[in-house]
Amino acid sequence: MKEMYPKKGRVILHVDMNSFYASVEMAYDSELKGKPLAIAGNPKERRGIIVTCSYEARKLGVRTTMPLWEAKKLCPELIIKSPNFDRYRTASAAMFDILRQYTELVEPVSIDEGYMDITDCADIGAPLEIAESIQKRILEQLDLPCSIGIAPNKFLAKTASDMKKPLGITILRKRDIPRILWPLGAGEMHGVGTKTADKLKSIGILSIGDLAKANDIQLKALLGINGLKLKERANGQDNRMVDPESVYDFKSIGNSTTLPRDLSNQHELMKVLDRLSEQVAARMKRKEAVATTISIMIRFKDRKTITRSQKLQNPVSKKDEIATVAKALFLKHWNGDPVRLLGITGTDLLEADRAVKQLDLFSYEQDAKKEPLLHTMNLLREKYGKKIIESAGLQRKKHSSRENAGAGTSFNKDFLQDRKGKDDFEKKDF
């Protein structure tokens, strides 16, 4: 069996659940199977957005991020369901439990996908046999379909898993790159968005093969350091390791402060919450994370302490967004007594790049106003790298960041482990 594994190098699997939210709903209610189904952020609103949809709906033109009204126009018989995140987390935890029965080297990257390093699993079976076993068990035990990519590194494994959906298994070797990847359009490559593809087109790079052979100086001038990284990927180069510990970097981001004196003046307390929100937002920015739950801590003069939290429909990371939720929670639960300590924390964290915001009737216009600024920031990041628009805190050593953030999960994959105990706050006095 060892002959099926490389003498040097790795064997990486990328397990990607197919139409995960919709598939979970179908597993929960078998009457939904075979029907066009969509999960939408705000089914009652005309401007609700499709989060995901079944393959039956996709065949009729329904797509993720499509406005609900447009999806219904394309598919009048479309069944709409609101997201049930508790249900999805439970299914996700069960899926990752199955993966860990094959190897401890499992790295979740989102609720419905993860990498596995099976290099040392020759005693279990050949790579293809392991992939087939995983796919079969997830389907039989959870009634959920998945696609799996098998490759020598993360990039190629991710690329392979996208090639056959649903229920596909694809092997992609480095020697296959010129034949399979290079003829494809540059925009079809994982990591290349529409805007980047347009830029590449402007200098004559139309295919992945063109990108693989592109001039380094020209690429760097056009896209900055990201251009060189994309060229490496186009040539099948990716040295990132499967890191199970990356999921345990932090589970919450928070700040608290003991006030110089006990305060009962609402205006002054609001100012404290503003400062705390600014600090939490800065730390989220350094960690490239967003929060889907905001919690506050109030300690009164008599040292009685309460914590209250609110689950949010849309992820937040900006000062004003955090402050709005924190102030509302405070005003709802403050009894008017003098306050000794205040704290704000963001939990249920997601990586900023993977957070999909569900635009609804109430946030649509506000987000539209921010679009020019976000566009400019994205352009700068594409050209000079993700870290170009960051705070000076990025210069801190990684271990310091981890100490400040506390133990737990990196972008709080709470679908992987239950949170126990109170939220961790970084204590700082003003």
Return binding residues for Mg(2+): 16, 112
Amino acid at 137: R
Residue 306's alpha-carbon distances to 232, 272, 297, 413, 428, in angstroms, are 51, 17, 6, 25, 19
Confirm if 154 and 15 have CB atoms less than 8 A apart.
no
User: Can you list the pairs that 383-386 forms with residues at least 24 positions away whose Cβ atoms lie under 8 Å?
Assistant: 383/222, 383/223, 383/224, 383/226, 384/224, 384/225, 385/224, 385/225, 385/226, 386/226, 386/288
By the 8 A CB rule, do 131 and 150 touch?
yes
Catalytic residue among 25, 56, 107, 113: 113
251: tokens are: 């589970």
Q: Are 357 and 322 in contact (CB under 8 A)?
A: no
Q: Has 113 been annotated as catalytic?
A: yes
**Is the Cα dihedral 411, 416, 418, 421 positive or negative?**
negative
**Single-letter code of the amino acid located at 244:** P
Kindly give the interhelix angle for 319-333 and 266-287, rounded to the nearest 10 degrees. Answer: 140
Strand partners, 427: 256
CA distance 351 to 355: 6
DSSP letter for each residue of 317-372: -SHHHHHHHHHHHHHHH--SS-EEEEEEEEEEEEEGGG------TTTHHHHHHHHH
Q: Distance (Å, rounded) from C-alpha 172 to C-alpha 150? A: 6
Report the run of H or E that residue 262 belongs to, with start and end. strand 253-263
Q: Longest C-alpha distance within the chain, in Å?
A: 73
Q: How does 418-428 read in b/e, with b if 16+ C-beta sit within 10 Å? A: eeeeebbbbee
- Token representation of residue 191: 């990591």
Residue 16 neighbours by CB under 8 Å, 6+ apart: 112, 113, 146, 147, 148, 149, 158, 161, 162, 165
CA 72 to chain CA mean position, Å: 27
3-state secondary structure of 88: helix
Report how far residue 108's alpha carbon sits from residue 85's, in angstroms, rounded to the nearest whole number: 17
Instruction: Give the active site residues.
Output: 113
